[in-house]
Structure 1
Amino acid sequence: MCSNGVNTGQFEQMLDQIDDHIKLERRWVHTLGHMAGDAGYATVDAKLHAAQALLDDVRALLDEAKDALEDDATETSGITVNLV
């Protein structure tokens, strides 16, 4: 669906791609945090787990953006785009 000059389907796919990337990075941070903790690097472990929590927040915000995209597209559905 194209609304206000934005293909919302493609836009949502791009948000999903970003989310997939962040999910992978979160997994790596989680793994490295445990490796650091197992090696006795408590401060590194704590910092990496804090970064993991922030990545969780990023993913939640991306979900909210996807919901907002649907809402905004519905609200602006009266706008049309014409090719020239």
Structure 2
Amino acid sequence: MCTNGVNTGQFEQMIDQIDDHIKLERRWSHTLAHMAGDAGYETVSEKLHTVQALLDDVRAALDEAKDALEDDAASASNITVSLV
């Protein structure tokens, strides 16, 4: 469905693509944090665990953006065009 010139379905898919990318980077930061910790690099491990937590925050914000997209599209006052 398009609302105010934005295809909301595609927009949501793009947010999902960003989320998938962040999910992968989170997994890598988690793996590297444990590798660093196992090698005795405690400061590096701690920093990478911080990165992991920040990426969790990013993913939560992306979920909020998807919810906001639905809310904004529902309350948009201009013309709405639906694909039939």
Shorter-chain TM-score bucket reads over 0.9
Structure 1: gaps (5+ residues): none
The separation in 1 between residues aligned to 2:5 and 2:53, in whole angstroms, is 35
Q: How many residues align?
A: 81
Structure 2: gaps (5+ residues): none
The separation in 1 between residues aligned to 2:74 and 2:32, in whole angstroms, is 42
Alignment match, 1:80: 79
Deviation at 1:81, TM superposition (A): 6.8
Alignment match, 1:57: 57
Deviation at 1:80, TM superposition (A): 1.5
**Paired residue type of 1:75:** S
Q: Secondary structure in 1 aligned to 2:54? A: helix
- The ranges of structure 1 where at least 4 consecutive aligned residues each deviate by more than 2 angstroms after the TM superposition are none
The separation in 2 between residues aligned to 1:49 and 1:23, in whole angstroms, is 14
Q: TM-score, normalised by structure 1?
A: 0.93
**Paired residue type of 2:2:** C
Alignment match, 1:41: 41
Alignment match, 2:20: 20
The separation in 2 between residues aligned to 1:30 and 1:58, in whole angstroms, is 15
The separation in 2 between residues aligned to 1:64 and 1:39, in whole angstroms, is 37
**Paired residue type of 2:68:** A
Q: TM-score, normalised by structure 2?
A: 0.93
**Paired residue type of 1:28:** W
**Paired residue type of 1:39:** A
